[in-house]
Amino acid sequence: MPQQVTAELRRWIVEQARAGRGAEAIVQSMQASGWDEAVAMAALEDVLRGHLDEQARAQGLPPARAVPAPDLAESPLYLDGGDRRVAVLGAMAAPRIVLLGSLLSDAECEALIAAARPRLARSLTVATRTGGQEVNADRTSRGMFFRRGESELVARLEARIARLVHWPVERGEGLQVLHYEPGAEYKPHYDYFDPDASGTPSILRRGGQRVATLVMYLSEPEQGGGTLFPDVFLEVAPKRGNAVFFSYERPHPSTRTLHGGAPVLAGEKWIATKWLREREFN
């Protein structure tokens, strides 16, 4: 018989979360009571998402949006990327963060770096006051953008990403490649566009809000350069070929997706970033 998620179980999960118990401990308790691990994890994620939505409505937060997501319902060790098998190295439910292994091959990493290198310029950030772009002292890398589908390599990686996170290629911005030399960093920030900023409406006309980010590591610095998530005390090591995916269902700090690129202390770091929008990006 399939295991049913009852109202009593939902209340218990919410009580455990309010008491400060982590997701792993809650799932282990459910398993000890006879629950299948995959069912327990899916129930936990569903209940916590619903609980957070109720809290958000009570606090007057922006409504939640549908977001991209790898299918982790059955706790897979690998995901089907179409032309490549991608490892699942770790996952967090709230915020939704998924660590992916071997998303790119060494040859693909080298090819992206080689194609991007001649086009590098000082990295800019979106200026939500005006809807344009600007130099930001918090971001000291150099970078460039590929047009969506610009080359066979770019198109292949975009198709792989779309398959992994179940989000159409058309809803992705162009792939950005960034280069960080020693001392370069990107201080903690959010990737969604501030809904209260005057320039945001013009930005949203091109495809709506950003709803997810994928950071892919193309090289390995000798020291430093990790991706930090200060709200949840997580640091992702910049291992070549690996990636970190995270989504944010509303443009608000309650998503706990504050993140940044730690300073490179030795060597250099190359990454590729893919931002996903709620609608077709053009």
Model pLDDT, residue 18: 81
| Burial bucket for residue 88 (CB in 10 Å: 0-12, 13-18, 19+) | middle
Model pLDDT, residue 84: 97
Q: What is the mean pLDDT of the chain?
A: 91
Model pLDDT, residue 128: 64
Model pLDDT, residue 193: 95
In angstroms, the CA 256 to CA 134 distance is: 25
Sign of torsion over alpha carbons 72, 73, 79, 81: negative
Model pLDDT, residue 173: 98
Model pLDDT, residue 130: 64
Enumerate the β-bridge partners of residue 245: 98, 214
Residue segments in the chain with a per-residue pLDDT below the cut of 50: 1
Model pLDDT, residue 106: 98
With b for 16 or more beta-carbon neighbours within 10 A and e for fewer, the 30-61 pattern comes to beeeebeeebbbbbbbebbeebbeeebeeeeb
Model pLDDT, residue 38: 84
Phi, psi of 263 (to 5 degrees): -55, 140
